[in-house]
Amino acid sequence: MRHKKKFNHLGRTSEHRKAMLSNMASSLILHKRITTTLAKAKALRSYIEPLITKAKEDSTHSRRLVFSYLQNKEAVTELFREIAQKIADRPGGYTRILKVGPRLGDNAEMCMMELVDYNELLLGPKEDQKGKSARRRRGGTKKKEDVVSTDKVEEPEAVAEVIEESTEVVTEETAPEVIEGATPEVTEGASPEVTEETTPEVTEGATPEVTEETTPKKED
């Protein structure tokens, strides 16, 4: 009869049980998450949470007390430097136990035990989902209607801009060809042909003929 006996010996002697819980506590402090059986996790929770509470006061006395339980310098340093600062505002409940399912070999109930403040993988997506759901509830349909309306209004504007640009291009390209292009063909285009091709023929060919014909007549 084990009435009113909540202490779980875990099928081990006192020294074996203390050594096992000390190793599990050190692993939880260093890795922030471990997988074990549900019975061991419940025993570890009552073992490690008082140590985390003592780590809030960083003194030589508290460090020596924690080291007497953990027997691991690296775990004590991690507990007092990082974990104590992160759980400074938390009044208790530093760990969380999540059930995983039965173990294949002996069908023991398994769980995952972790530090609450280091559960960034599970807490981050939940906060994002809450924010997204709140935004959708406020005006998800309105936003969709606004998007549709803006698209319908923006498309004709874009078409009008394209048409205006095309008209401007046509006017700028065709106008000079019709108005300014015809004049240079008559004035600027013909004049160089006459000056360059005909003038040299007249000046070089006609002048010697005139000089040769007129000069002898005057002598006669």
- What SS3 state is found at 95? strand
Q: Kindly give the interhelix angle for 14-31 and 38-54, rounded to the nearest 10 degrees.
A: 70
Q: What is the pLDDT of residue 171?
A: 44
Residue 202 has pLDDT above 60, yes or no: no
The two tokens of residue 176 are: 């000079």
| % of the chain at pLDDT higher than 70 | 55
Q: Are 22 and 70 in contact (CB under 8 A)?
A: yes
Average pLDDT, the chain: 74
Confidence of residue 119 (pLDDT cuts 50, 70, 90): confident
Q: What are the tens digits of pLDDT across the range 146-179?
A: 545 444 444 555 555 555 555 554 444 444 454 4
Q: What are the tens digits of pLDDT across the range 20-44?
A: 999 999 999 999 999 999 999 999 9
Q: Are 21 and 44 in contact (CB under 8 A)?
A: yes
Q: What are the tens digits of pLDDT across the range 63-112?
A: 999 999 999 999 999 999 999 999 999 999 999 999 999 999 999 999 99
Q: What are phi and psi of 83, to 5 degrees?
A: -65, -40
Which domains does the chain show, CATH number per domain?
A: 14-118 (3.90.1030.10), 183-214 (no CATH)
- What SS3 state is found at 218? helix
DSSP string, 116-181: GGG-HHHHHHHHHHHHHHHHHHHHHHHHHHHHHHHHHHHHHHHHHHHHHHHHHHHHHHHHIIIIIT
For CA atoms 64, 66, 67, 73, the dihedral sign is negative
Confidence of residue 199 (pLDDT cuts 50, 70, 90): very low
Q: How many CA atoms lie within 13 A of 112 on its CB side?
A: 11
Q: What is the pLDDT of residue 2?
A: 85
Q: In angstroms, how far is CA 138 from the centroid of its own chain?
A: 25
Q: How many CA atoms lie within 13 A of 54 on its CB side?
A: 18
Q: What is the CA radius of gyration of the chain?
A: 48
CA-CA distance, 212 to 219, in Å (whole number)?
11
